[in-house]
Amino acid sequence: MTDLTQLTLRQAHQALESGECSSLELTRATLERIERLEPKLHAFITLTPELALEQAAQADQLRARWRREGGELPPLLGLPLAVKDLLCLAGVRCTCGSRILENFIPPYTATSVERLLTAGMVVIGKTNTDEYAMGSSTENSAYGPTRNPWNLRHVPGGSSGGSAAAVSARLAAAALGTDTGGSVRQPASFCGITGLKPTYGRVSRYGLVAYGSSLDSVGAFGRTAQDVALVFSQMAGYDRRDATSMDLPLPAIQLEDDDSSLAGLRIGVPDEYFIQGIQPEVENAVRRAIVSFEALGAFVSPVSLPHTEYALPVYYLIAPAEASANLARYDGIRFGARLDSDNILDLFTRTRGQMFGAEVKRRIMLGTYALSAGYYDAYYGQAQKVRTLIKRDFEQAFEKVDLIAAPVAPSTAFRFDEHLDDPLAMYLEDVFTLPANLAGVPGLAFPVGFDSNNLPIGMQLMGPHFREDLLFRAAHAYQQTTDWHQRAPSLS
């Protein structure tokens, strides 16, 4: 019998439909593989095997009834899903990678997760993340880092490193992540899989624990563009519980097997993304992929995003500023663990001082400073103005081209500890992913090669607001004619 854990989401869906396997069999195979590989990888913070088996049994019953009586089935019925531990699932603890939420059990479920449950998916666990999604390596998780399935001495990227490692290691065919400054695309790239950061406003943030509210987005991981599109189409769309979610129709995403022509598609290549310091193997692989797009019929031309170099300082003012406000609620009284004291100020100080990790405290301090009286205009206010210029760069570029092609990160997955003592070096990892968050545009990362150490190289396509369909179409066409996305880490 085939190893069910090796199936893509779409293949697993077909196997369930044809009766080749049941959801219980698929879920058990998944849980067994997790049990075997999790000690090496540490992709999860919390596993939910009972819940998963119960949901899988229900899915099988529903399918059996459907075979007898017909009707309609939920589109992703019985397929396992891993969820980043920053998204709430009612009744299952949600730590956000932080000690302060070690025992937090949310009473409600995030809309994105809820919609996938309604679509029939089976939740197998909550995946590891940098504390409050602040980081690019999962080294900031209070529960220990996740390892890169391609090389256990290297980071999987972050902050959604647990989700990316899980999909790459075939512990789940699909996973949810969040992307505030690159946290889906960068780990997807480091782990050799496909990951989407949707348009800001496309997927509800309700039930996502807030980091930088004007930047946060809920994205998805899979091994193929097709798989990510399946998950995305089910969770996208208007939600009255998120005031920033947009009531716009979702264009049909039809990715046929033989659909590999990109005739007429205009792809822009920004010089500002091929800067000094980029690992030459990364640049070469991305440039080769761009040539492949041309061979598929796309028209490739240079395009300019002149304010790109300001994205890093702008993001590292705006994101910490928003984080400092969002994290004020974890004070030991309203949310989170409490270190008791007979004096209220001391209670706040002890709780927040001891329960938050170093990076979270650094961001709160940076953000509080940037927002403080006398500095607000010079830092936060100025950053907002430059953010508008960055957004305008994209608007102007998308008047000339349909998509923008760029590397995801300047290097492949780095080693543990390589950047841990140098926050600035860690922040520099985000230089190519931050602009899309500042502009609110969607981005899709997917593998386009390997470096000489057999570590995956990713590239990203960015598109105009609400044109995820174009990203999927282009990446799918590329994946129809290449096999980077089919390579698997050996892990033996």
Subset of residues 77 to 136 that bind ligand GLN, contact rule: CB under 6 A: 133-136
**Residue with Cβ nearer ligand GLN (133 or 262):** 133
Beta-bridge mates of residue 450: 456
Provide, rounded to whole angstroms, the least separation between the CB of residue 430 and ligand GLN: 5
**Residue with Cβ nearer ligand GLN (90 or 428):** 428
Task: Give residue 198's region: left, alpha or beta (phi > 0; psi -120 to 50).
Answer: beta
40 is catalytic: no
Q: Is 182 in the site for ligand GLN (CB under 6 A)?
A: yes
How many other CB atoms sit within 10 Å of the CB of residue 108?
13
Provide, rounded to whole angstroms, the least separation between the CB of residue 142 and ligand GLN: 15
**Residue with Cβ nearer ligand GLN (60 or 429):** 429
Provide, rounded to whole angstroms, the least separation between the CB of residue 243 and ligand GLN: 21
Catalytically annotated residue among 23, 163, 183, 233: 183
With a CB cutoff of 8 Å and minimum separation 6, the contacts of 237 are: 115, 202, 203, 204, 245, 250
**Residue with Cβ nearer ligand GLN (210 or 296):** 210
Backbone CA torsion sign across 27, 29, 34, 35: positive
Q: What is the dihedral of CA 163, 165, 168, 171, to 10 degrees?
A: -70
Residue with tokens 């992929």: 289
With a CB cutoff of 8 Å and minimum separation 6, the contacts of 144 are: 42, 128
Provide, rounded to whole angstroms, the least separation between the CB of residue 212 and ligand GLN: 7
Q: Is 441 in the site for ligand GLN (CB under 6 A)?
A: no
Angle value at C-alpha 123, between 120 and 129, nearest 5 degrees = 135
Q: Decide if 445 contacts 153 (C-beta within 8 A).
A: no
Provide, rounded to whole angstroms, the least separation between the CB of residue 181 and ligand GLN: 3
- 3-class SS string, 388-432: HHHHHHHHHHHHHCCEEEEECCCCCCCECCCCCCCHHHHHHCCCC
Tell me the window of 43-51, 70-78, 174-182, 478-486 that interacts with ligand GLN (CB under 6 A).
174-182
**Residue with Cβ nearer ligand GLN (7 or 133):** 133
How buried is residue 424: exposed, middle or buried, by Cβ count under 10 Å (0-12/13-18/19+)?
exposed
168 is catalytic: no
CA 132, chain centre distance (Å): 13
217 is catalytic: no
Catalytically annotated residue among 137, 141, 159, 163: 159
Q: How many residues interact with ligand GLN (rule CB under 6 A)?
A: 14
Provide, rounded to whole angstroms, the least separation between the CB of residue 180 and ligand GLN: 4
Characterize 237-258 residue by residue with b for buried, 16 or more Cβ atoms within 10 angstroms of its Cβ, and e for exposed: bebeebeebeeeeeeebebeee
Residue with tokens 């936060």: 380
> How far apart (Å, rounded) are the C-alpha atoms in residues 126 and 285?
33
**Residue with Cβ nearer ligand GLN (230 or 426):** 426
Provide, rounded to whole angstroms, the least separation between the CB of residue 425 and ligand GLN: 12
> How far apart (Å, rounded) are the C-alpha atoms in residues 455 and 438?
29
CA 119, chain centre distance (Å): 20
Provide, rounded to whole angstroms, the least separation between the CB of residue 178 and ligand GLN: 6
Of 125, 181, 201, 489, the one binding ligand GLN by CB under 6 A: 181
Of 60, 85, 242, 430, the one binding ligand GLN by CB under 6 A: 430
* CA nearest to 304, candidates 227, 210, 399, 238: 399
With a CB cutoff of 8 Å and minimum separation 6, the contacts of 459 are: 189, 285, 286, 289, 405, 406, 407, 408, 445, 446, 448
**Residue with Cβ nearer ligand GLN (171 or 436):** 436
Of 111, 159, 204, 480, the one binding ligand GLN by CB under 6 A: 159
Catalytically annotated residue among 84, 141, 197, 411: 84
Q: Is 456 in the site for ligand GLN (CB under 6 A)?
A: no
Q: What is the dihedral of CA 324, 327, 330, 334, to 10 degrees?
A: 110
**Residue with Cβ nearer ligand GLN (125 or 181):** 181
* Site track 229-268 with ligand GLN (rule: CB under 6 A), x = hit: ----------------------------------------
Of 183, 194, 412, 480, the one binding ligand GLN by CB under 6 A: 183
Enumerate the active-site residues. 84, 159, 183
The residues that touch ligand GLN, with contacts defined as CB under 6 A, are: 133-136, 159, 178-183, 211, 319, 430
